[in-house]
Structures are given as structure tokens and as C-alpha cells.
Structure 1
Amino acid sequence: MLLTSHAVVLPGLLQDRIDDLAQAFLQPAQKIDFSIPPGEPALVAADSVSWRIFKNPISLFIGGITAVLLEFGEPRVRDGVWQHSSFRTDPLKRLQRTGLAAMVTVYGPRSRAEAMIASVVRRHDRVAGKTREGEAYHANDPVLLDWVQATADFGFTEAYHAYVRPLASTERASLFVEAFPAARLYGAAGAPASQEQFDALFERMKSRLVASPVIFEFLEIMTRAPILPTPARPLQRVLVKAAVELLPGWMRARLELGSPWSLNTVERALVRTMAIASDRLILPSFPAVQACRRLGLPDMYLYK
């Protein structure tokens, strides 16, 4: 293993194997070369906090689950996703599409990211219906879009903060600013732009959040879907529990996510070790590294 500043480069065959696994998960069918076209910037600048946070696959996985749990607490978002997606029938494919979309939003060339987001918005415009409680929903409802954007901000930020390294208040403030260009394109122009606005939104949403069998079905799917290689599959449940632990206590109680979804001391240490290690590991095919190459930056730019 080679240590370069804070970066880690593994021996050739092991590095290639891990790189292949990461690429197979993120880009199973639709191959995107984030290294082209040369020089085209992304929606977010390369020196941003977002570029450093989104390079970490472990904290992204954890934070993404946390975000979905918050989304599913809102009945209109919950049934809008559950009634119109392939989570039940093909969870891995759905996760891969979602993960790739996040990578394009942060690291992709601006023109490609804008085109992808526009396509998502068009698809969402056809998603409408009624919740099992009889409440109407529409996927492009600005109120719901603002909530989804806020839950993503919360999940990714808190996962990195809890399991990789603490984020300073200035970094958190930067993340709100950096998220705005994509949020506006998605239609979430009213998403929180500061910690104060974020706290106010969560306070307003308290009465809307409810427990649901869908939440528990989602958690079970995430523990058994073939996301990690077979020998590492038992770790998925640990990572899912790590995601649950990021929820505020009152929210866990509201969603009825009790002690079976809590980490023990050993598991918590294991999650932190994995997350910190993945923050240092340079994978040549990972979008973060390819995007650096597109902008003429060295592979280790985000790892210093």
C-alpha cells in the first residue's frame, strides 16, 4: 500500500479489482466518461466542499439511505416513489441509477448535468397519484422537491460529519450554497439555503412525518440487495444501521426505528474505519478522479 499525503494507492491487482467493483456498481450499463470534454466545468467547482464529500462511497451510501428514510416519512414522497419506481422489483438497478445521477450532478460536465436533470424533471412531470391515505401528490410539486433536496443535503452532510471527519460551520454553509444550482434546475428553488432555513423546514415537517410499512420494507431491501461483493454482504446491514443512527432521536421515534436499528460499539468503530479509509482511496475510474482529469488536475487533488 502506498501512502501519498492523505491518499492511499493499493497494490496493482487489488487496486484494479476494487476499481472494477466501483465502476460496475456506478455504471453497469450506461458508461459515462467524466474525463471529457476537456476543460468543461461542473455545476459545482472543483475546490468545493461537495467535491471532497461526494468522493467517499461509504458515506454516500450511508447518507443516501438516511435521505430516503426522511423522504419516506412524508407520505406524498413515499408513495410517489414506491408506486412509480423499481425499488421492489429491481432495487440494485434503481440504486445504480440514483448513484450515477448524483455523480453526474456533482462531477459531470455542466452540459451533461443540465441535460440529465432536465430529463429527470420531464419524467417526474408524469408521476402523480394518491397516497394510501388518499392524499394527492405530484412529483414536481415544489414543496416536495424542496423536502427531497433538504433530505439529501442532510443525509450526505451528516454521514460525512459523523463517520469521516467533523465539518466546520463554514463548510456546512458552503454546502448549502453549492447545492443551489442543481436544486434550482430540479425545481427545488425553495430548498434551504442556510442552517436556519433548514432547521425551520424540519420544524414545519414534524407533523407530516409518519411511520409506514414501506420504510421497513425499504430497510430490509437495502440489507439484502446484492450491493456489496458476496463476502462483504453482511456489512450492508451495519451500514444501514449507521444510516438510521443519523436521524434525530425524535424522528427515529416518530418513524418507529428502535434499538434493532442501532449500532453497537464495535459496529460504529467499523463504520468509521471503512469511511475514513474510503476517503483516502484513489480509484482511477471513479467520477471524482475522472472529473479532476477533465479539468487538468492531478488524480490526488481531492485527497490532499
Structure 2
Amino acid sequence: MRNLLREWQGELKRVFTGSPDVLPGWVPRLAEGNDAGYHLPGSAVWAVHGSMTPIVAGIRALLMQALHPAALAGILEHSDFREDPLRRLARTIQWIFTVTYGSKADADEASARVRRLHEPVHGSYSDGRGSERRYSANDPEAARWVHLAFVDAFLTAHKIWGGTIPGGPDAYVREWAQAGLLMGVQDPPLTEADMRRQLDRWYNSGELLADSRVAETVEFIRNPPLHPLLRPGYRIIFAAAVYSLEPKYRRMLGLRTPRIGPLPLPVRLATRVTLGVVHLALGRGPGPSEQAARQRLRRLGHTPL
């Protein structure tokens, strides 16, 4: 039993870091750098990203991003997410945590690196009206949809399963707008209300599309190639992502909250328990990225920490 638990913990760490026992090299480098960074202890971004709720939010963001045919075409035609989804997840985590906890110089470079990787990602797709259109991963409007889906997912998941947000939801939207700017988003939303208005404009425009490619992508996200020990917990986390979606997006994606007959299953409670177990397995207290950031801030003389 003890060996089984250790194996489960190792596989869980592998999902988030790429290794069951060794931190990726970029984490200790967050202690380097000569500026405080875009986000500091006590910020809304640190509160949200330092919790367990991003585990749900990441899946929710993928589901939402799949509804934009340009964003989905870029993923399906230019990424290895089907062959190696954990590698893509690790790259995404690296960017999020570098912008969250790293110096401004490191956050700028990490974002520029992602944009360089996006340069060859372009092609064509059929929009919701059947017209052929061109896409580019670095297109500001494509980047806007990805940013909106991210902010909506991380904020919503934290409001359901997380603690308080310093400054409230608007503070998170305003602070993470910096990440949008780094990725080429023009005038990202600065309040929750503005973020929701922009999402509604996308929905009402008819540009979002739910076709067979979306259905295949949703099915892959529902059943990724995870270690058998992780699958029961993942089913709960996936159900949580579905539960957190607005009903109109749920319908577009062909998803429903889990039920037994007419009775809804207790997704909120099951998710809270699952996130608590994951937290115990990964270790209580600040994560290694936050610890590295605090080392840098202490070295630079920033207080309080």
C-alpha cells in the first residue's frame, strides 16, 4: 500500500513538473533576476495561482479555447498535444509561473519565447459561417480569446473552490492583464464585468464554433493518456471544469454536469476533497516557484514577505 501511495505521488508530481522527484531547471532560476517582478506577495495573482484551483482552471481554459476555430486549428495542426500532452502542459506551467513569480526580465523573455514559437503557427480554417479564413497564433484577436478564456477559467474556479482574492475579482483581472499585454493582446480587460462583456461579444458574434474537431478535442481532454492511478481523480477534476462552465458554453461543447438520474452528483464537494488530497500529496505550504520568488525578493530587500 505504501509503495502504491509513493507511486501515485510520483505520477502526480510528474504531471506538474515532468519528473517524480526532480524540479525542472527553470524553477530555481526564479530566485535569480534583479527586479521584483510584475506580481508580489499579497497580490491577487499570487493568491489565485498559488492555490490548488488552477488544476481545475487549466482544463476549463482548454475547453473554452477549443471553441474558437482559429485557436483550435493552431493547436491541432501545429502542436504535439495529442502525442505528448504532459510536455505541452509543462511548457504552459513554466510560462504561467515565470510571469507570476519571476522577475520582469524573465517574464518578458518567457513571453517573447512563446511568441517566437508561435511565429510559424499559421494557416486557414472554416469559420462558423462556412467561410475560409486565415489564422496566426500571434494574431492579437486570437491571443485575446486565449487570454479571456484563461482569465475566466482561473477566476471562476477560484471563486468556487479557492479562498479570498486580495482586492477581489477585479484585482485579478487587472493584474493578469499584464500577461495579456506580454502576449500581444491589445487593451485586455481590467475588470471582471469588462471581461464578461468581451466574452459575450465573442459568443454573440457567431465566431465560436462547435464541430466534429471540437468534439474530438473535448473527448481527448476528457480521457487523456494518464497513468491509471491518476484517472479517478482526473474524472472528478474534469467534472469540476464542466460544472464551472456557463450553461451556454456547456451546451456548445456537448457536455453536461454528472447526474444519477435526475439527481446531480456533489461535484463541488468531491472537487474540494480531491484538491485537498492533491495538496497533501504535493506538500503543504508555498510551492517551489513561490519559494524561489521569495528568495529573490529577500535578496533585493523587498518587504514584507
- Is this a same-fold pair by TM over 0.5? yes
Return the match for 1:136 from 134, 137, 148: 134
* 3-state SS of paired residue (1:41): coil
- Partner of 1:103 in structure 2? 97
Deviation at 1:68, TM superposition (A): 1.5
Q: Which structure has more RCO (C-alpha within 8 Å, separation ≥ 6)? A: 1
Q: Does structure 2 retain, via aligned residues, the 8 Å contact 1:222–1:236?
A: no
Return the match for 1:296 from 292, 295, 298: 298
Give 1:115-264 correspondences, 5 Å limit.
115-132=109-126, 134-165=132-163, 167=165, 170-206=167-203, 207-225=206-224, 227=226, 230-259=228-257, 264=264
Deviation at 1:258, TM superposition (A): 2.8
Q: Does structure 2 retain, via aligned residues, the 8 Å contact 1:59–1:159?
A: yes
- 2:250 maps to a residue whose letter is R
Deviation at 1:285, TM superposition (A): 5.6
Unmatched runs of 5 consecutive residues or more in structure 2: none
| Number of residue equivalences | 283
- 1:69 maps to a residue whose letter is L
Unmatched runs of 5 consecutive residues or more in structure 1: 1-13
| 1:31 equivalent in alignment to 2:25 | yes
Which piece of structure 1 moves more, 67-76 or 210-219? Answer: 210-219
- Partner of 2:45 in structure 1? 50
TM-score by length of 1: 0.80
Identity %: 24
Render the CA deviation track for 1:170-215: whole Å, top value 9, x for unaligned: 4111112211222111101222112232122122111222213333
Deviation at 1:267, TM superposition (A): 3.8
Q: Does structure 2 retain, via aligned residues, the 8 Å contact 1:55–1:279?
A: no
Deviation at 1:264, TM superposition (A): 4.5
Deviation at 1:24, TM superposition (A): 6.6
CA distance in 1, matches of 2:255, 2:222: 15
- Partner of 1:92 in structure 2? 86
- Partner of 1:265 in structure 2? 265
- Partner of 1:6 in structure 2? none
Q: Does structure 1 retain, via aligned residues, the 8 Å contact 2:242–2:256?
A: no
Deviation at 1:125, TM superposition (A): 2.1
CA distance in 2, matches of 1:261, 1:111: 48
Which piece of structure 1 moves more, 207-216 or 240-249? Answer: 207-216
Query: Could you say if the C-alpha distance between residues 249 and 24 of structure 1 is closer, same or farther in structure 2, counting changes exceeding 3 Å?
Result: closer
CA distance in 2, matches of 1:222, 1:110: 33
| 1:75 equivalent in alignment to 2:69 | yes
